[in-house]
Structure 1
């Protein structure tokens, strides 16, 4: 499927082309979508990511039959309910109630049937007396409430959501996301466009990435988000990169006040470079399915993770000190390198993380050919479960973080379930009786 637009420099040139006796061309062509093809199955929720102008909204409008494709076709089996740009499909002069009845008629429902459904829609929207006021008086958040309530109460087989939930308050967003998950579990197909990667992670099974009108990635949510972040902050050069440590000048920069002493391993092998390649490949915590982003002008050639000083560990209790050593080789001068890290869930959701820019920890200038070793330590008190560690080196250019080398899910941690708490963090708490029934007699 492809979509082409004709762009004119001015309305005058559009008129001249329409009236020219020899059909002189005044426009130039712009392909918003080019050879886009994918299939979404019943009950699947797919996130659609892409930079502004990548073709996301055009794609959804074609799927919803609001716009026709220039070539190709779209096959949709079932009823489609769509939440496109703010204001789409609603008459601003009509009340919220009237717009919902009109929308139901467009979807094939009788007035009697929509009147039966209205109390539930009104309760979900929860905008009080404004439900019977003209839509033109609504705030963006109120409009989003009515539009979403209308869309989900017409029994759609396919629900299309294009960024509109971003204007609602946090409480209503959570209410909407909960309903989306319930609809997905019942077999509704969800097409979800958002610039919020967290929203995509929470609500989608898979994802695709659009750029310049083409699908450049279709994979798991975490993998597509990694590619999306590389488009935003990196050089676009992704993929695996095998390296060996070169004999260069080596310096130590420690991002904490902890000692560099490591027991149970030969730390000198890490500093000088192992004869059999990077040290991290020797340990079971290494995840060979890691993803790497960046242009490698600064490259993490080796890393080491220790738990309470031991690099050879198995299942954690969750309360240990985690220390990450990163060996970084620079191929150009970086005035102020920035180091970042994160602990993430298996789905890629960031549980906690930071970087030297956020924490205002200045790292020394690095020159071409130098190799620096950095150390980061933390003690997060994790609940039982599986976790992965992301880390990377970058720099801030014109106020924007740029990936030099970002390694995602490079290390795996397994924490034993102790039955004391649930979630991600094992936070200590107290519970005490303040009063008993006898004090109220």
Structure 2
């Protein structure tokens, strides 16, 4: 039985899966269960425990595969733990795998009633909420069409609208705040903020540092199924980013320090922080750890879906970022200057040649870039067989996170400017966190912000 002030209690929860290399190994395991093991164990969660008070908002952060979604499914009772227990007090509305419960043959309207029933609403309650759900989803006449004709985004919008309209005691959200276009995302955030204001308990997974810091009272950091930290959200995000960006040869030691602090065998890396903004004395262990967060090259930072336009007599080669001392790097420090560098081989003679680059977020938002177009640096004529060295120098003003690069060369063909070669998402890079700094968005404009009495 939960204490009256608690909404969720997770007690020593573990989830282990049996991984078989071959299908026949399952039969062998059934036949020789107590004599030999034909599987490997994968621990999605290991000994996780925490309590969440009513009315609080808690974020769960961690890299892909850290156990976040597994934990939410166990809390929602759609997955059973291998050991431990979870107790929940109140009506739960879960935004997990949006639309997975829809019948594709049913219309959107019929699926609203179906999902509402699953969430515990009777017909009268759904009738009362229906207009609000339809208005929130905003899919127009498609509401009475079979959902098998919907786009993925339309299904997710409708599923989100249903789940968010039931006035839950506990709202569980798994990376569902990026549904739809920007206007719809803002409506989602506004509705979640309204639910929070009514005193509901919110538990959600997000890779957005800003969302966690802005919405949450506290945050939980998971890594490889283990709970490493539970506390103020800024500090949790700081530890999460340090796990992501610390070079591999030092990451394990930092992780062990966090685990030791959970067991009470060591202080937190930023023990002695002056404020929740994680500003620390330069002599303590946190400052030493931050000193190790230096620009470097991580060979694992390789984009998985680069796109190349059809070439027109030019090829872009060896796109990379280099530091001021000429070293290739893809883990950068905000506030420092870097150079995007690549070579272009021009196979056919070209006129009016210009080169450019763009920097984008992981969601595809273009933050900016550079081009020699409409400047004195346009090359009037480039002979066939020429190799160009291209450089774009910039000051890194991005906040911590992951970003992608485009590279391009254009020229005049029959009087019209066309791509000679263009590579989209040809390279990726990360920007390291800066202790004590918080910005609302991906760019740090270095505002000098203050307020003083008149």
| TM score, norm. by length of structure 1 | 0.59
- Whether the 8 Å contact between 2:280 and 2:287 is mirrored in structure 1 is no
What is the rounded CA distance, in whole Å, between the counterparts of 1:203 and 1:293 in structure 2? Answer: 30
The answer to whether structure 1 residue 211 and structure 2 residue 246 are counterparts is no
- Whether the 8 Å contact between 2:54 and 2:201 is mirrored in structure 1 is yes
> What are the residue-to-residue correspondences of 1:234-253 with 2, within 5 Å?
234-235=246-247, 236=251, 237=254, 239=269
- Whether the 8 Å contact between 1:82 and 1:159 is mirrored in structure 2 is yes
State the 1:295 CA deviation: 6.6
Partner in structure 1 of residue 77 of structure 2: 65
Partner in structure 2 of residue 371 of structure 1: none
The answer to whether structure 1 residue 407 and structure 2 residue 442 are counterparts is no
Partner in structure 1 of residue 393 of structure 2: 360
Which residue, 9, 14, 19 being the options, matches 2:26?
Answer: 14
> What are the residue-to-residue correspondences of 1:3-82 with 2, within 5 Å?
3-20=15-32, 24-82=36-94
> What are the residue-to-residue correspondences of 1:95-134 with 2, within 5 Å?
95-134=107-146
Helix, strand or coil at the partner of 2:101: coil
What is the rounded CA distance, in whole Å, between the counterparts of 1:166 and 1:228 in structure 2? Answer: 20
Q: String of CA shifts for 1:290-318, please: whole Å, max 9, x gaps.
A: 86585735779xxxxxxxxxxxxxxxxxx
State the 1:195 CA deviation: 1.4
Q: String of CA shifts for 1:175-220, please: whole Å, max 9, x gaps.
A: 0101101111111111111112222223222111110101111121
What is the rounded CA distance, in whole Å, between the counterparts of 2:184 and 2:293 in structure 1? Answer: 43
Q: Which has the higher strand share?
A: 2
Structure 2 gap segments, 5+ residues each: 1-12, 258-268, 296-324, 337-366, 369-390, 401-426, 439-445
The answer to whether structure 1 residue 169 and structure 2 residue 181 are counterparts is yes
What is the rounded CA distance, in whole Å, between the counterparts of 1:68 and 1:19 in structure 2? Answer: 25
Sort the Cα spacing of 1:142 and 1:293 in 2 relative to 1 into closer, same or farther, 3 A.
Answer: farther
Q: More displaced, 68-77 or 199-208?
A: 199-208
Helix, strand or coil at the partner of 1:207: strand
What is the rounded CA distance, in whole Å, between the counterparts of 1:192 and 1:137 in structure 2? Answer: 30
- Whether the 8 Å contact between 1:3 and 1:69 is mirrored in structure 2 is yes
The answer to whether structure 1 residue 227 and structure 2 residue 221 are counterparts is no
What is the rounded CA distance, in whole Å, between the counterparts of 1:75 and 1:119 in structure 2? Answer: 34
Partner in structure 2 of residue 143 of structure 1: 155
Sort the Cα spacing of 1:293 and 1:56 in 2 relative to 1 into closer, same or farther, 3 A.
Answer: farther
Q: String of CA shifts for 1:408-427, please: whole Å, max 9, x gaps.
A: 349998723478xxxxxxxx
Partner in structure 1 of residue 420 of structure 2: none
Helix, strand or coil at the partner of 1:74: strand
| TM score, norm. by length of structure 2 | 0.58
CA RMSD of aligned residues (A): 3.9
Helix, strand or coil at the partner of 2:38: coil
The answer to whether structure 1 residue 335 and structure 2 residue 330 are counterparts is no
What is the rounded CA distance, in whole Å, between the counterparts of 1:53 and 1:214 in structure 2? Answer: 11
Partner in structure 2 of residue 184 of structure 1: 196
What is the rounded CA distance, in whole Å, between the counterparts of 1:12 and 1:103 in structure 2? Answer: 39
State the 1:156 CA deviation: 0.8
State the 1:71 CA deviation: 0.9
Q: Which has more radius of gyration?
A: 1
- Whether the 8 Å contact between 2:270 and 2:280 is mirrored in structure 1 is no
The answer to whether structure 1 residue 296 and structure 2 residue 324 are counterparts is no
State the 1:359 CA deviation: 7.9
> What are the residue-to-residue correspondences of 1:257-276 with 2, within 5 Å?
none
- Whether the 8 Å contact between 1:292 and 1:407 is mirrored in structure 2 is no
Helix, strand or coil at the partner of 1:408: coil
Sort the Cα spacing of 1:335 and 1:75 in 2 relative to 1 into closer, same or farther, 3 A.
Answer: same
